[in-house]
Amino acid sequence: MREDIVQLHSTDYRTPSQLREGPVLIVGAGNSGAEIAMELAGAGHSVVLAGRDAGHVPVNMYSFFGRHVTQPILMRFVFHRLMTEDTPMGRRAKAADGPHTTPLIRTKPKDLAKAGVRRLSAKVGGVRDGLPVTAEGETLDVANVIWCTGYKPGFSWVDLPVFDRRGEPVQKRGVVTGQPGFYFVGLQFLYAMSSAMIHGLARDAQYVAREIADRRKAASPSSPRGADVTPLARRVG
């Protein structure tokens, strides 16, 4: 891509002042991409948004109903209680990698359209003459590109056989059964869709902490059960 095109990942984006004047291509139409698009359109940029439609929550999350009814139901019940490894719906969503692309929560497609954000139906498929090109062959003459393509955990430093063929940890609620004493927290859908959120992370960490305490108790010389017995952790949440 041309050297004069400003390129940022969403993790480095802070304000519109970081960009050059001129059109902006945002690659990735999830929550980060949609919200950055709204901000840049409001700052006077022409914005093109590329990425598949992940759906959206059909309620205004800033309204009284959204803040006091929809948010608690969505965050505390659907994401935290319903979409877990213990439910058929949660297991299907995890197996399909659904939680990695959550629907738009605060931004609606109509908001993007009203702000003048152009949605691309085709993916960005390459570069021609230093400019991004869609899979349908359209050249996008932009001055800035923001990559809202998500994140992947950095496991390169973990030199243990604890990963499956997709490179994800083989664990149950954060406990790696094949490597006693090894645990994970904070991952996408570790146990529930809320596992990467504050309230979900807290529940997962509490479960792991109790598992550690139970294992230490079982391994204590004074324990009548012996060091080779690991009791089942108490159910948390």
Q: Which residues pair with 146 in a beta bridge?
A: 8, 26
Q: Which CATH class is domain 6-56+103-147?
A: alpha beta
Radius of gyration over every alpha carbon of the chain, rounded to an integer in angstroms: 22
pLDDT at 100: 54
Per DSSP (E only), the strands in the chain are: 6-9, 24-27, 47-50, 118-120, 124-128, 131-134, 144-147
**Low-confidence residues of the chain, pLDDT below 50?**
98-99, 226-237
Indicate the SS3 state at residue 56.
strand
Tens digits of residue pLDDT in 36-67: 999 999 999 999 999 888 788 887 777 887 77
Contact 97, 26 (CB under 8 A): no
Tens digits of residue pLDDT in 1-41: 999 999 999 999 999 999 999 999 999 999 999 999 999 99
pLDDT at 224: 55
Rounded CA-CA distance 219/236 in Å is 22
Q: Which residues pair with 27 in a beta bridge?
A: 50, 147
pLDDT at 235: 43
H/E element, 143: none
CB contact burial 59-75 (16+ within 10 A = b; e otherwise): bebeeeebeeebbeebb
Structural domain boundaries in the chain:
6-56+103-147
